[in-house]
Structure 1
Amino acid sequence: MPVNLPSIENQILPPVKGVRLGWAEANIKKPNHKDLLVIEVAYGSSVSGVFTQNRFCAAPVHICKKHLDEAKQIKALVINTGNANAGTGEQGMQDAMSTCEQLASQLDVPVNAILPFSTGVILEHLPMGRLLAGLAPAVNRLTEDAWEPAAWSIMTTDVAPKAYATTCQLAEHSIQVTGISKGAGMIHPNMATMLGFIATDAAISQPLLNDITKQIADLSFNCISVDGDTSTNDSFIIIASGKAGNPEITDSEDPLLKTIFQSLLETAQYLAKAIVRDGEGATKFITVNVLDALSNEEAKAVGYAIAKSPLVKTAMFASDPNLGRVLAAIGYASRECESLQDLNVDNIELYFGDVLVAEKGGRAHSYTEEAGQKIMQDAEIEITVKLNRGNDNATIWSCDFSYDYVRINAEYRT
């Protein structure tokens, strides 16, 4: 089961004015399973996206980027699960476009006003007959209060749906932020490593939304790792419908931007951490703090070296305080960040929880195996590395590797 992830049934997911959602059971991979979602966006909304940097990115990613660049107005998103439409060549591009064309026809909007998304098995063609047949039922169900079924409809190997909502105040205007995400495996950024959709009724200009979407991705979905594999289909979208009534925020120096930015970031970080908590086979949620680096790049390189190390992750599963594995990961982080090549390991301090475990290039004199073992028994473990060479910090969220991770991925296509 997910590590300390609150049940979606206990969450309140208010509607976002100007955003409607509708789902269908299209039988793309499994029968009687929500696997198709349409999100309709009101006229005048700003929509921005950040996508995977995997060179084998899926056909929908190519089309999303193209439509975001050329369309005057995005009017709808369509998401299918069970099939990634990645590694499918020209046929995959045609299938993604056919999906856009069919939905555009039903909504009476231009084709390039549609953004397609897919997730699931790679190197297989979409079952287009079933997918296209599911669009009409999804459109017929469009309503503002369908965030919970929407969260269920985008899952693949996820054990639990992931959603979050919060509010903030912009002057006299109450602002709603609601979002969903999916992901459990093939999670490691060079963007966002999942599908994530966040909507707000705040009015934010398109250029400014483009900027803050990238910033929020870097502080949330670009700070997680389950298995070190960057997906072909990663997509993170923020929708700002502008229906709350606030004057449009256009200036990065506008004091109101900080307020809505924090609400969007809170939502994105919750959804990102929810993915890690639901990591395939996960039994431990691991927070890696890297402090006092020369740059954020350095801090993230060290954090990711620890977070994606199979040896560290299996030690965490075994509740084994194997300090050497963490030190080794810190030491080879210079492969990803050139400035770390002059890292003085004698200056590094390593903590498990609040226990100092290593300093001055070796085991701390005050450390005992019993203290380390006690920390490792917890379902949530915090590792802190103080590089003591600068002022930049980073936090990475990860999980352990269990026997179930191997089983889930061995059986993925069956």
Structure 2
Amino acid sequence: MAASRNSTPADPLLGLAAWLQPRLPAGAELWVGLSGGRDSVVLLHLLRQLLPSGQLRAVHVHHGLSPHADAWAGFCAELCRDWSIPLTLQRVQVSRAPGPGLEAAARQARYQAYRDCGIRYLALAHHRRDQAETLLFNLCRGTGVAGAAAMPGQRAWQDMVLLRPLLAWSGAAVAAYGARHGLAWVEDESNQDQAYSRNFLRHRVLPLLESRFPAAEATLARAAGHFADARELLAELAAQDQLLVQGRVAPLLNLSPARQANWLRHWLAAAGWHPPEAAALAEALRQLAVTPADGHFELCLAEGAVRLWRGQLYRVPFPGPLPAPCAWDGSGVLDWGGGRLQLRPGAAGIRPDALLGRRLELRSRQGGECLRLGPGRPSRPLKKLLQESGVPPWERPLLPLLFLDGELLACPGVGVAAAWQSGAGEPGLLPCWEGPGLSCGD
């Protein structure tokens, strides 16, 4: 966005339109996170002048944390009614359980509320001063490059695209715009409570810095931009290394320690997992370097565990309860054990006539199952067949076993009982099960 000295374009609407045009597809619905505070009211006022009727919506999240929360919701409803903008009110329960703190819990609840609305494009009213505060906050927590990059102007988050159209505007420019247009807004009393870290930075630290460095807001935001560039370079390096590593430990350990850590962080983040802190990450890589390819290695994280199997790293989500036995007609795709089961055409698969008029049942492993995979071959314990087939140990309890009239018919990843296998050149159906995110090479 072209900016003047106070980072407000000479024509705010023209500058905002130029920023938004390449980021919002033509005709796409844009939602505004409307708290009722000054910044979100200014953003809504600007976008109302830019977007045609029906393309702009607002969402207000009622956290229930303040005695004034109902009044804020009422203000937002009245504002949107006056401006002819549809408003969605979302009430949430903010967890007060021990953990990252009330601010983080409220943010998590708020973003989940946005997802529950089915929002695709969401505009948030963060500006340059918020960016400076975020950088300071993250630095005080010992962040890495990604945290020091603070907030991007555009970011994909799960199934939403987050847009921050005012990020290049100074806090003073946003305030001046609101005053110039006579806008009204609500004041959140918690914004004055310096028990919250961000408020302490806003009211005590940043003013003190600006008393010595008058351009601190702008320079801190500019530094966040430099860190964002570095973050992009590290992401590109991780993508290049992934072509070589593909989850394999041997090529990973040929990289420098810094590149090993960088690859592992991005590999975890690609699945939405949170990497461990730097010390824990370094210790995990040290252990990985001395663990044999078939040895035991496990890095436990909030979302699951990173495990080693035959020289490959896997992200393994924490398993849920084992599915109950159920009947299946073999059609379509069936959810099972957090994964997806279906029958696909394949050699040495199940003969189609095997399923005619017979009862197909799915069960989890109980132990002691045996399977004979070919004519003239002996029946063998499924445990041995799973080991020989390279099925990782954590997948084995989750595998859906197919039983026909009470006898084991097939096991995904292993094969089909000889009595019901299709012959050479005959059509067959192979059971294929894709586990819950058990991936190594992606």
Q: TM-score, normalised by structure 2?
A: 0.26
Higher relative contact order (CA 8 A, sep 6+): 1
Q: Which has the higher strand share?
A: 1
